[in-house]
A = this chain, B = another copy of it.
Amino acid sequence: MASITIIDIAKMCGVGVTTVSRAINDHPDISEETKAMIMKVIKENHYVPNNSARNLKRSASKTVAVLIKGITNPFFNRMIQMFEKEIKRKKYSFILQRVDEHQDEIEVAIELEKEKRLKGIVFLGGYFSHSKEKLEQLTVPFVLSTIGMAPEFDPTEFSSVSVDDFKESYKIVDFLCSLGHRKIAIITAPMDDSSIGKLRYEGYKKALEDHGLQVDSTLICSMKDHLESYSMENGYAVTKDLLESGEPFTALFAVSDSLAVGACKAIFESGKHVPGDYSVAGFDGLDIAYYYNPSITTIRQPVEEIAAETLRILFDLINKKQTHSHKIFPGELMIRESTTRI
């Protein structure tokens, strides 16, 4: 079936194309009667007005985009659902745009902003270290949500909502130390990688230091480059190597729950137990950390609150009700079965 055009509709109605366009765009220069007749024909023929043309005509389309780094991380699923629901409730359209790990999210956003005439943008996940000059190319409000940030950033230039990755990581490693662990391994991002993994590593280091423990480089395990980052598969492979190295340790902190699940699997396969032989802790508060056997001690990020606050700030910026602001939510240490005192 060939696509129906505005010209076909005009012919069917016995009017000009301009008149059809006026009906579609609620133009005042058309009688209610003619408009009703045209809209009826449009509906009966399932004609969908071409939005490329409509966007040019209209002064404002109302669209908010969510740009997400690493859509495969289950951590973001509930946030996306919340974003979509709330954005629709505000009568805005919602665009979900995935950004590759090695893609520049600002470039993607600049392109999207023009193409879709966005009203606002949420950046979700990853690490943010773009130049001021580059950020200024974005002309619509944006909020960084659950994103690690370079410390040199000027907080008056942008808004953000997240947990304090450094502090929360410190909290859970401090907890492991308080259980008597002295040899605590970590699975984290490679040292040259700027990601939230780095902030979480810094928190680990500080907690060890505050307990008078040396940071032992043989217990710092980087995720493998060739495997998906923060994944179960990666946690499994890294922990397998660690166990095979023979380096003694009694606890393992993985900077995501998925990594922690993979770590447990490697431990079981080596004939050892969690937490009997090794305590294991994760980060994020995914469902699977609760449903795993044993359930996994973790830092729960308050996903719903973070998502709601992100949109509250974004819509306030869109409506020019406020200047940039930064909200840090506390994470919650969830003590479960995977960790024990030694």
- Mark A residues whose CB is within 8 Å of B: 1-3, 46, 48-53, 55-56, 71-72, 74, 77-78, 80-81, 84, 96-98, 110-111, 113-115, 117, 136-137, 139, 231-233, 236, 261-262, 264-265, 268, 287-288, 290-294
- Find A52's partner among B2, B52, B137, B287 (CB 8 Å cutoff): B52
Q: A227: shortest Cβ distance to chain B, in Å? A: 12
Q: Are B233 and A261 closer than 8 Å at their CB atoms?
A: no
Q: Are A139 and B2 closer than 8 Å at their CB atoms?
A: yes
Q: A116: shortest Cβ distance to chain B, in Å? A: 8
- CB within 8 Å for A51 and B96 given contacts A236-B291, A291-B262, A291-B265: no
- Find A293's partner among B51, B97, B293 (CB 8 Å cutoff): B293
Q: Are B291 and A293 closer than 8 Å at their CB atoms?
A: no
- Write the chain B residue with the least CB distance to A85: B100
Q: A161: shortest Cβ distance to chain B, in Å? A: 21
- Write the chain B residue with the least CB distance to A1: B136
> Which chain B positions have C-beta within 8 A of A46?
110, 137
Q: A307: shortest Cβ distance to chain B, in Å? A: 14
Q: Are A77 and B84 closer than 8 Å at their CB atoms?
A: no
Q: Are B291 and A48 closer than 8 Å at their CB atoms?
A: no
> Which chain B positions have C-beta within 8 A of A80?
71, 98
Q: A62: shortest Cβ distance to chain B, in Å? A: 15
Main secondary structure of the interface of A (DSSP, over half): helix
- CB within 8 Å for A48 and B110 given contacts A232-B291, A268-B293: yes
Sorted from nearest, which 7 A-B pairs have the closest CB atoms? A48-B114, A51-B115, A72-B77, A52-B55, A265-B291, A293-B293, A232-B291
- Complex formed: what's the CA distance from A139 to B48 in Å? 12
> Which chain B positions have C-beta within 8 A of A2?
139
Q: Are A139 and B51 closer than 8 Å at their CB atoms?
A: no
- CB within 8 Å for A114 and B50 given contacts A1-B137, A98-B84, A136-B1: yes
- Write the chain B residue with the least CB distance to A45: B137
Q: Are B115 and A52 closer than 8 Å at their CB atoms?
A: yes
**Additional A-B contacts beyond A51-B115, A52-B56, A288-B288 (6; CB < 8 A):** A46-B137, A48-B115, A84-B98, A236-B291, A261-B288, A265-B293
> Which chain B positions have C-beta within 8 A of A137?
1, 46
Q: Are A98 and B96 closer than 8 Å at their CB atoms?
A: yes
- CB within 8 Å for A232 and B288 given contacts A50-B115, A98-B96: yes
> Which chain B positions have C-beta within 8 A of A97?
96
- Write the chain B residue with the least CB distance to A337: B268
> Which chain B positions have C-beta within 8 A of A50?
114-115
- Complex formed: what's the CA distance from A2 to B96 in Å? 25
> Which chain B positions have C-beta within 8 A of A51?
114-115
- Find A139's partner among B3, B115, B288, B294 (CB 8 Å cutoff): B3
- Complex formed: what's the CA distance from A97 to B113 in Å? 18
- CB within 8 Å for A111 and B291 given contacts A81-B72, A84-B98, A96-B96: no
